[in-house]
Amino acid sequence: MLILPAIAQVGTSRDDLLAYRVTGAISSAEMDQFAEHLNLVFDNHDRVDLLIIFDRYREAEGADLFDWEAIRSWFRAGSKVGRYVVVGDADHAGELLGGLSSILPVTPEIFDEEIAAWRALDARAAS
């Protein structure tokens, strides 16, 4: 399980679903660790669904989000991620996701309510 100051992995009821809660601004070091984590996941799974829950999220500086490890993981996501589901303020999350959309070839499904996202993915949080 990945646990960083601003990003924490959430256990799920599905083996092929990865969920992460973002609770603050993501530093460059955290983005690098998150990207390394995703690359390991992609090495070990043919395909996964991805759920990102923005909870009390504050946007980091744009440069913090684009180191080489992060870029590598986002490019790989195109062939590894089935559904990409995002929870949070659509306008705020949309700003970050809009910047990533040029390199992430998976269109996010954005939900305002966390419970709606879990239902759409036919899953639940698990410990």
Report pLDDT digits (tens) over 44-63. 999 999 898 988 655 555 44
Quick check: is 69 in a domain?
Answer: yes
Quick check: is 49 in a domain?
Answer: yes
| pLDDT, position 4 | 92
The conformation of residue 1, written as its DSSP 8-state character, comes to: -
The conformation of residue 44, written as its DSSP 8-state character, comes to: H
The boundaries of the domain holding residue 81 are 7-120
| Residue 49 exposure: Cα atoms within 13 Å on the Cβ side | 17
Quick check: is 81 in a domain?
Answer: yes
Q: Is 122 left (phi over 0), alpha (psi -120 to 50) or beta?
A: left
CATH of the domain at 92: 3.30.750.24
Quick check: is 127 in a domain?
Answer: no
Quick check: is 79 in a domain?
Answer: yes
For the chain, the domain total comes to 1
| pLDDT, position 9 | 95
Mean pLDDT of the chain: 78
Answer whether 30's CB lies under 8 Å from 4's CB: yes
What CA–CA distance (Å, rounded) separates 26 from 23?
Answer: 9
| pLDDT, position 99 | 47
Quick check: is 12 in a domain?
Answer: yes
